[in-house]
Amino acid sequence: MRVVGIEGTAWCASAAVFDSETDSVRIESEAYQPESGGIHPREAAEHMREAIPQVIEATLENAEGPIDAVAFARGPGIGPCLRIVGSAARALAQSLDVPLVGVNHMVAHLEIGRHRSGFDSPVCLNASGANAHVLGYHNGRYRVLGETMDTGVGNALDKFTRHVGWSHPGGPKVEEHAKDGEYVELPYVVKGMDFSFSGIMSAAKQEYDDGTPVEDVCRGLQENVFAMLTEVAERALSLTGRDELVLGGGVGQNARLREMLESMCEQRGAVFYAPEPRFLRDNAGMIAVLGAKMYRAGDTLAVEDSHVDPDFRPDEVPVTWRDADEDVLLAGAGEASDVRGAEAVVDVGSETVSKTRRPKAYRHDALDARLRRERTTHEARLLSEARRNGVSTPVVFDVDVPGSTLELERVGDADLRDALSEARVAAVTEHLAAIHDAGFVHGDPTTRNVRVVRNGSNGEERVHLIDFGLGYYTDDAEDYAMDLHVFEGAIRGTADDPDPLIKAAEAAYREAGDPAVIEQLREIEGRGRYQ
């Protein structure tokens, strides 16, 4: 089987042919290079209009046999570019009299890594220009386990390099200058399974304006931004119980990012795979490979249904080409005496728990020491503060800040991930409302950071919040809404039918807390982070 793929979501006009019998991919690409600044949509579309026919023609000349289907990137991306690619794909499919397949660009980044690695059901970190998120397969769809709350990682780096006066793309220039730089402390923003780049970019620009050598700022940027991505990837591995990670997206070509991810996986006993560079940057090869899988599954489009979607999220795609038993989530994993989470190793005793934040080899030493110290201190303080406000949490018996260790009461007999119910998620948001009213956030309320007592001594259930290491004091409704956003994201990533659970959670919060926080949550959800 041979499938032609066509890619043109932003800056790269690309076409490829995938031969499933030989597992070979031939790619022809022509990249748009702006004279200055970032990508201009009109100029990118003009480039696409000129280059797409050329790369398609070159690809067809290299095809060693008849074409069985034409696949194209439907989104996400720049609207004018997508429409040109869609028109070209429809015309080619009609001229060859073959089926048309519409591919999600971000899912293609994941699938090319899965295809080339041979992994069964990996977690995927997508790090590209306009996007940054972590995906896992569950119940027939790819679930967004964590994502950027403002801008894509590549675009964030480009904003800094434009400020400095460098041309697009900025990522490779940051990588090159960072090799000669000294580490500079910059903001580090991880909110549960999500991350934010706006604060660190503003701080980096200010450091440069204040006279800090650009090499040092670039080093600080890389160490912080890529550590944030790596931490969230590890959180996703911990949440899902998986031990396979693949990398996708053009920023994945950065050697330091790949080094961090490989180090993290080695430290936790997982395996890591990054495709070769031609499959990391925007390319039609990944479109052709996923298009072949979709075509084989009968997932094709009628011409009248082949519209493009600039905001096409990966979790909107029905995954027709995978078996249900490949699910990324491992429910009911039980409780071992030594549990490795994303941040710490937990030694579980009969009545107590010892939690130690061990050094992370992937992080810069100064950054790692700072995070372990701050998070240990914050967790001890906020656990006690939450208990004073009526929230069920473990009792803190001892705190060793230099050793980054807490001695805690053992609570619950299951993670919420393995014991989801409407009543239990409602209890969680009631707890969140209580701590928000007290002026702080949990910071990481995933379904792994809630413990459930299913059969208490008096027959009653109890729901406990644990792991306040990412919590902080705040009076900002945006921060309270982010707590809810993280919790709902974890529910979506772990529940077969998340909607009734989320409705129950929000109803309980409206009753116990400030309804304006729910309205702020709606605003967060509507920001269109995939544009």
Task: Indicate if 158 and 302 belong to the same structural domain.
Answer: no
Task: Indicate if 353 and 308 belong to the same structural domain.
Answer: no
Taking the C-alpha atoms of residue 29 and residue 234, their distance in angstroms, rounded to an integer, is 33
Taking the C-alpha atoms of residue 427 and residue 181, their distance in angstroms, rounded to an integer, is 48
CATH value at residue 518: 1.10.510.10
Q: Does the residue 259 lie in any domain? A: yes
Q: Does the residue 7 lie in any domain? A: yes
Amino acid sitting at position 526:
G
Task: Indicate if 366 and 402 belong to the same structural domain.
Answer: yes
Residues 12 and 250: beta-carbon distance below 8 Å:
no
b/e map 267-276, b = 16+ CB within 10 Å = ebebebbbbe
- Of the residues 282, 415, 444, 483, which is catalytic? 444
**End-of-domain residue from the set 298, 325, 352:** 325
The reported pLDDT for the residue numbered 49 is 95
CATH value at residue 203: 3.30.420.40
Task: Indicate if 316 and 358 belong to the same structural domain.
Answer: no
User: Which helix (H) or strand (E) is 407 found in, with range?
Assistant: strand 405-409
Task: Indicate if 382 and 304 belong to the same structural domain.
Answer: no
**Domain containing residue 319:** 2-113+279-325
Q: Which residue has the tokens 């899912």?
A: 107
Render 206-268 in DSSP notation, one character per residue.
HHHHTT--HHHHHHHHHHHHHHHHHHHHHHHHHHHT--EEEEESGGGG-HHHHHHHHHHHHHH
Domain count, the chain: 3
Helix, strand or coil for residue 14? Answer: strand
The reported pLDDT for the residue numbered 332 is 42
Render 147-163 in DSSP notation, one character per residue.
EBSSS-HHHHHHHHHHH
The reported pLDDT for the residue numbered 130 is 85
Q: Does the residue 333 lie in any domain? A: no
Alpha helices, H only, 101-213: 105-117, 153-164, 171-178, 198-209
CB-CB neighbours of 69 under 10 Å: 23
Q: Rg for the chain (alpha carbons), in Å?
A: 24
Task: Indicate if 361 and 497 belong to the same structural domain.
Answer: yes
Task: Indicate if 453 and 521 belong to the same structural domain.
Answer: yes
DSSP bridge partners of 125? 134, 247
Amino acid sitting at position 216:
D
Tally of helices (H runs) and strands (E runs) in the chain? 15, 22
Three-state helix/strand/coil letters over 33-51: CCCCCCCCHHHHHHHHHHH
Q: Does the residue 478 lie in any domain? A: yes
Task: Indicate if 158 and 271 belong to the same structural domain.
Answer: yes
The reported pLDDT for the residue numbered 18 is 97
Q: Does the residue 33 lie in any domain? A: yes
**End-of-domain residue from the set 289, 304, 325:** 325
Q: Does the residue 32 lie in any domain? A: yes
Task: Indicate if 387 and 417 belong to the same structural domain.
Answer: yes
Alpha helices, H only, 389-476: 422-437
Q: Does the residue 530 lie in any domain? A: no
Task: Indicate if 263 and 408 belong to the same structural domain.
Answer: no
- Whether residue 400 lies in the annotated active site: no
The reported pLDDT for the residue numbered 43 is 86
Amino acid sitting at position 448:
R
Tokens coding 61? 């000349």
Render 343-402 in DSSP notation, one character per residue.
S-EEEE-SSEEEEE-PPPTTS-HHHHHHHHHHHHHHHHHHHHHHHHTT---PPEEEEETT
Task: Indicate if 521 and 417 belong to the same structural domain.
Answer: yes
Task: Indicate if 313 and 186 belong to the same structural domain.
Answer: no
Task: Tell me the backbone φ, ψ of residue 3, rounded to 5 degrees.
Answer: -125, 130
Amino acid sitting at position 43:
E
The reported pLDDT for the residue numbered 524 is 85
Q: Does the residue 101 lie in any domain? A: yes
Mean pLDDT for each consecutive 10-residue tract of the chain (531 residues)? 95 95 95 72 89 96 92 95 97 97 96 94 92 89 89 92 91 96 96 90 97 98 97 92 94 97 96 96 96 97 94 93 71 51 87 95 97 95 96 96 95 92 97 98 94 75 93 94 93 90 97 96 70 34
